[in-house]
Structure 1
Amino acid sequence: MTLVRSRPCYRKLEPLHSMLYFAPEAEAEFQTLGLSDAAMGYFASRSAAMGAVGAATVTAAFYNFNPALIARNLPRAWDITTPAAVLAARLRAVDAAQQRTLGAQTMAGPEVREAAELALRAAEACTPSGRPLYAAHAALPVPQEPHLALWHAITLLREHRGDGHLAALLDAELDGLEALVSYAATGQGFLPEMARRTRGWSEEEWSAAEERLRERGLLDADGALTEAGRQLRQDVEDRTDRLADAPYRRLGEDAVARLTEIAAQLSATSAANGAYPEGIFTPATAGAPGAR
């Protein structure tokens, strides 16, 4: 089976999705529903496609968050509002955040329409088996507006890839926190302090995970990846790429290259207009966190 180099395209598309999790527009929308805590808004909005699910389901699907953090917010969010209301608020937040970071002219331009068509065509090759978070989002209607359709399509590609990533992490025998610690040690994602804070882990829990990885020979005494650790992480990413390849293989090399080109332009514009606050990712990362 011939693989298409999906990672470069994914890394340019991903910031156009994940900017929502840092957008003040999203927090404002969720607050109007009564979700006053930012973490509650995040867990509710990203899981709403699955329905009014509880903490155990979200812990399984999101993988590297502290279960206690999730349990503080779910299912309590569903006593306050409904998944349908959250999904509608999420799309309003996407629209407002894109107005700010891309601008109305770009949003209405031909490149966004073209990218949406390409990304939706790619997503047609995604399959739901063993991919619960993707499957839930795939059951949602495609928005009519091209900029929202593009965000929806990127979400499908992202969650399809993410579900496959969890399979790769399980095969590597990395639990959620070990996956987060080892990924942070690559220097390619969240800064460790930000990873701990946003995922709800204490310094003691983080240190305990580091020790478990040292016992496996994956981290050295300074918390850096050993050669075995680097190889394990590379194996995880290679398997993730392979499991995520079908949508990009459907498009073919030329169309993937075009989608990557447009996504790179849009992501650069979005970042230049404040899509991400400073101090979150390592300098080598362009808003594309990995292990979830």
Structure 2
Amino acid sequence: MSPVSRAAVRRCHASLNALHSTVYFSADLGEELAGYGIGDPTACYLAARAAALGQVGAGTVTAVFHSFRHDLVARHIPRVWHLAAPEAVVAARLRAADATLRRLLGASLTAGAETAEAAQLALRAAGGGIGPGRPLYAAHAALPVPEKPHLALWLAATQLREHRGDGHIAALTHLSIDGLEALVSHSASGAGMPKEIVMSKRGWTQQDWSGAERRLYERGLMSTDGSLTGAGRRLRRELEDTTDRLDLAPYERLGQRGVERLTELAEGLVAVAVRAGAFPQALRPFFTGELGASGGGGR
């Protein structure tokens, strides 16, 4: 089996992450969880991603998500578990993924041979992940695989997404970059989402953001104008390279040709989903590869 290039892994991750993320930009997840009394969009997101871990507290969620302000997390966790058990939330998210993908992809593509092939490849890769030190990956890897191919693909994409994310956080920790500094440096690199969107969704204030910029400036990683210095760009490259290296194991199961085929299939599905309105216009570049794939900037 041919060695897998890190560039191929990064591109494959980008397409699978986009497929996974469709559920967070549809109304289906909110509608599923509204029946349990979980109505706040942030509460829906936190509960849906954390549910596989079980009835964990705010400290655990803040730690494994890495880039959310703790008081935002604590506003919703563990309150959500009093409204819906984690097992119920896991099931609700899968139902939401089912509804979202069926609507975006259409009946023929959802049940088509290419989706089934992509599911087989993604499951094979996801089964080769490294669990120790990767709590979100390990939790999702323990979930039962759905029978329907589009849902099996979505779960495998989720597992692979969390595998890379857990490794990305390990790399950030090794480089002494905290969650907000990761977001700030990612935005400054030109590959991250707009600052205003990041702050509103992760709970950070302008004061928090300026403080992170100051810390990066004091380390010689950011200029006074908010751009990255040469050292800052080198650190971001080191971060992404380390993330790539830590994420190789699942894809080595497929070999270069298998990874390229999975990427081809996933990108085709994502393209259909994007045309169907899967993501807001302003965020499409981050899910279509226009800005390049990355480790995630800090989750």
TM-score interval for Structure 1 and Structure 2 normalised by the shorter chain: over 0.9
Structure 1 distance, partners of 2:259, 2:213, is 38
Q: Provide structure 1 residue ranges, at least 5 long, that are not aligned to the other structure.
A: none
How has the CA–CA distance of structure 1 residues 94 and 125 changed in structure 2, closer, same or farther, with 3 Å as cutoff?
A: same
Inter-partner Cα distance in structure 1 for 2:40 and 2:99: 20
Q: Does 1:76 align with 2:83?
A: no
Question: Which residue number corresponds to residue 110 of structure 2?
Answer: 107
Measure how far apart 1:282 and its partner are: 5.5
2:189 is aligned to: 186
Question: Could you give the per-residue CA deviations for residues 118-175 of structure 1, whole angstroms, max 9, x where no partner exists?
Answer: 0001111112111111111111100110000000001111111111000100011101
**What SS class does the counterpart of residue 221 from structure 2 fall into?**
coil
The corresponding residue for 2:246 is 243
Counterpart check, 1:97 vs 2:100: yes
Instruction: Determine the structure 1 residue equivalent to 2:178.
Output: 175
Distance apart, 1:290 and its partner CA:
3.8
- Worse-superposed segment, 271-280 or 256-265: 271-280
**Match for residue 29 of structure 2 among 17, 26, 46:** 26
Mapped to 2, the partners of 1:282 and 1:66 lie a distance apart of 25
Q: Which residue of 2 aligns with 1:230?
A: 233
Preserved CA contact (<8 Å) 1:12 1:267: yes
Partners of 1:189 and 1:282 within 8 A in 2: no
2:50 is matched with 47
Q: How many residues matched?
A: 292
Looking at structure 2, the residues matched to 101 and 187 of structure 1 have their Cα atoms a distance apart, in angstroms, of: 29
**C-alpha separation between the residues in 2 aligned to 1:174 and 1:136?**
25
- Deviation, structure 1 residue 279: 2.6
- How far the C-alpha of 1:3 sits from its partner, in A, is 4.6
Cα distance between partner residues in 1 of 2:29 and 2:297? 22
8 Å contact kept, 2:3–2:255: no
Q: Bigger CA drift: 275-284 or 89-98?
A: 275-284
- 1:70-119 CA-to-partner distances (Å, cap 9, x unmatched) read 00000000111111111111011001111121111110000000000000
In 1, the alpha carbon distance for the partners of 2:28 and 2:175 equals 37
Partner SS for 1:44 = helix
Do the aligned partners of 1:18 and 1:287 also contact (CA within 8 Å) in 2? no
Residue in 2 aligned with 1:275? Answer: 278
Match in the other structure for 1:4: 5
Structure 2 Cα separation of the partners of residues 265 and 56 of structure 1:
38
Q: Could you tell me how far 1:191 is from its partner in structure 2?
A: 1.0
Q: What amino acid is aligned across from residue 11 of structure 2 in structure 1?
A: P
- 1:204 maps to which residue? 207
Report the residue type matching 1:4 in the other structure: S
Q: Structure 2: which 5+ residue stretches go unaligned?
A: none
Greater mean alpha carbon deviation, residues 186-195 or residues 281-290: 281-290
Change (3 A) 1:263 1:147: same
**Shift of the alpha carbon at 1:24?**
0.9
Identity of aligned residues (%): 52
Deviation at 1:280, TM superposition (A): 3.5
The answer to whether structure 1 residue 148 and structure 2 residue 165 are counterparts is no
TM-superposition CA deviations, 1:26-75 (whole Å, max 9, x none): 11111112101111111111000000111000000000000010000000
Instruction: Give the CA deviation at 1:222.
Output: 1.2
- Structure 2 distance, partners of 1:287, 1:104, is 29
Dislocated runs of 4+, deviation >4 Å:
286-289
Conserved 8 A contact 1:191-1:282: no
Which residue in 2 is equivalent to 1:291? 298
Instruction: Report what 2:216 is aligned to.
Output: 213
Query: How many Å separate the matches in 1 of 2:212 and 2:177?
Result: 10
Distance 1:144 1:286 in 2: 32
2:298 partner letter: A
Q: Which amino acid aligns with 2:220?
A: G
8 Å contact 1:189–1:281 — kept in the other structure?
Answer: no
Match status 1:118 vs 2:121: yes
CA RMSD of aligned residues (A): 1.6
- Confirm or deny: 8 A CA contact 1:138 1:156 kept in the other structure: yes
How has the CA–CA distance of structure 1 residues 71 and 281 changed in structure 2, closer, same or farther, with 3 Å as cutoff? farther
| Shift in Å, 1:251 | 0.4
* Alpha-carbon distance between aligned partners in 1 of 2:100 and 2:291, rounded to the nearest angstrom: 21
Shift of 1:189: 2.5
The TM-score, its normalising length taken from structure 2, stands at 0.94
